[in-house]
Structure 1
Amino acid sequence: MVRLLLGDDHRIVREGLKQVLADAPDVAVVGEAQSGPEVLAQVRHLQGTLGLDLVLLDIAMPGCDGLEVLQILRHEFPLLPVLMLSTYPEQQYAVRCIKLGAGGYLNKSADPDDMVAAVRKVAAGGMYVTPATAEALASAMGAKAAAAGSKTAAAGVTALDALSHREHQVYRLLSTGQTVGEIGAQLKLASNTVSTYRARILEKTGAKNDVELALLAERHARNATQL
């Protein structure tokens, strides 16, 4: 029996996922969480009682996003498999999730049979990779090889993996030339909050300003298409 913790901040999504998984007699949802901190609390509790075989975790979680939760789980429970779940395309987040230690990346629009197959494979210690994820991984390897010739470029591209989900969102918008105010309005964040994210992004990537961020984004995109 696969004992699973489901982490998603939307109740209707959790109910839909539970309905899909209910058709698998060897899968049991033993816990639910609607925020990052709640996922961590539930894992710590369940690991000491029922035990867990898998965490099915959404990326966009309040309190502490899924990528941050994944890193904490990898540190505290290195043997506990985590399958990431999102509405974002594989090209945007699958590679980052796998690099951070996820056992796979699944889009919420996936076929129910594929979802059950992914749960079983990752819970058993395997890696679930869709064709789109495989292509994204191959492109990332090509980008890494292309950047290897430039120490500065390689450092900047690698630093992108260290960005949290929200930081990555802000980075993508900054690199397109949007202002702090425009980003705040789009993401429903206060301008000073966006400014804080911007400062963290600049520190992590080594970029001095938004122009350098745009150049980093352009270089990263170009390298990813050179395969």
Structure 2
Amino acid sequence: MIRVLLADDEALMRAGLTAILGTAGDIEVVAEAGDGRQAVDLALRHRPDLCLLDIRMPVLDGLRAAAELRRVLPEVAVVMLTTFSEDEYVTGALANGASGFLLKSGDPRELIIGIRAVAEGGAYLSPAIARRVITRLGAGPLGKQAVANTRVAELTVRERDVLALVGAGLSNAEIARRLHLVEGTVKGYVSQILTRLDLRNRVQAAILAYEAGLVPEQ
């Protein structure tokens, strides 16, 4: 069972998200928070597997809550809820260790898929915002691709294969099945990639894979 803490300042939104997650069968909302400070306090009390945070919240917004969770509970995954108008916040969430980004207005099935992917050690960016986020990370697409290709060039062929599948949002177990490897071996490859390319987490690795053209366009 994936234990989730849900934080959003709108009670109606929390109720809707809880109802959607309740249909999954393998996801349980163990606590709900109305602001970022309460989210951190409840996370310390309940120790969830994953925190689903709205970016805009009172007292402590989602960005600062994510940074605080990374400091006090680094083992807890963080997924951010955003809207099209909040692209500028997404890069900040990435810097603060978030492993997923989901649209509030997205397909309910995407919410479940994203939470499962992150809970299994993967990263997930809503396809609807992935390219918009990437565009904000550099001066221009061609320049970004050239830099990304240079960085990726230092990887082995197998490491590039793994990076491409990380970019596609696959978990370690899914990558292992796809490449006919042991899951522990995939975990080792991912760790090597993050270290060699000086990446903070799987989301940064996924974005680099997109920039380098390793992931087919959705």
TM-score by length of 2: 0.60
Match for residue 3 of structure 1? 3
Match for residue 70 of structure 2? 74
- Distance (whole Å) between structure 1 residues aligned to residue 100 and residue 37 of structure 2: 22
1:16 partner amino acid:
G
The Cα of 1:88 is off from its aligned counterpart by 4.2
Match for residue 81 of structure 2? 85
The Cα of 1:31 is off from its aligned counterpart by 0.5
1:139 partner amino acid:
T
Whether contact under 8 Å (2:4, 2:30) holds in the other structure is: yes
Match for residue 188 of structure 1? none
Deviations 1:11-49 (A, max 9, x none): 1101000111111000000101101111111011112xx
1:77 partner amino acid:
L
Q: Which runs of 5+ in 1 are unaligned?
A: 148-227
Match for residue 16 of structure 1? 16
- Distance (whole Å) between structure 2 residues aligned to residue 84 and residue 63 of structure 1: 17
The Cα of 1:125 is off from its aligned counterpart by 1.6
Whether contact under 8 Å (2:99, 2:118) holds in the other structure is: yes
- Distance (whole Å) between structure 2 residues aligned to residue 85 and residue 142 of structure 1: 23
- Distance (whole Å) between structure 1 residues aligned to residue 52 and residue 42 of structure 2: 13
Match for residue 221 of structure 1? none
Q: Which has the larger radius of gyration?
A: 1
1:21 partner amino acid:
L
Match for residue 218 of structure 1? none
Deviations 1:82-127 (A, max 9, x none): 0001234463332221222101111111101111001111111211
The Cα of 1:81 is off from its aligned counterpart by 0.3
Over 3 Å counting, the alpha-carbon distance change for 1:144 and 1:69 in structure 2 is farther
SS in 2 for 1:57: strand
Deviations 1:171-191 (A, max 9, x none): xxxxxxxxxxxxxxxxxxxxx
Over 3 Å counting, the alpha-carbon distance change for 1:78 and 1:106 in structure 2 is same
SS in 2 for 1:5: strand
- Distance (whole Å) between structure 2 residues aligned to residue 59 and residue 137 of structure 1: 15
Over 3 Å counting, the alpha-carbon distance change for 1:88 and 1:133 in structure 2 is closer
Which residue, 105, 108, 125 being the options, matches 2:104? Answer: 108
- Distance (whole Å) between structure 1 residues aligned to residue 65 and residue 116 of structure 2: 21
Whether contact under 8 Å (1:95, 1:137) holds in the other structure is: yes
1:65 lines up with 2:61 in the alignment: yes
1:55 partner amino acid:
C
- Distance (whole Å) between structure 1 residues aligned to residue 118 and residue 85 of structure 2: 20
TM-score by length of 1: 0.58
RMSD: 2.1
- Distance (whole Å) between structure 2 residues aligned to residue 99 and residue 143 of structure 1: 18
SS in 2 for 1:85: strand
Identity %: 39
Deviations 1:124-153 (A, max 9, x none): 121101234331343234329979xxxxxx
Match for residue 27 of structure 2? 27
- Distance (whole Å) between structure 2 residues aligned to residue 55 and residue 143 of structure 1: 32
Whether contact under 8 Å (1:85, 1:107) holds in the other structure is: yes
Match for residue 42 of structure 1? 42
Q: How does 1:205-224 map to 2 (within 5 A)?
A: none
1:119 partner amino acid:
I
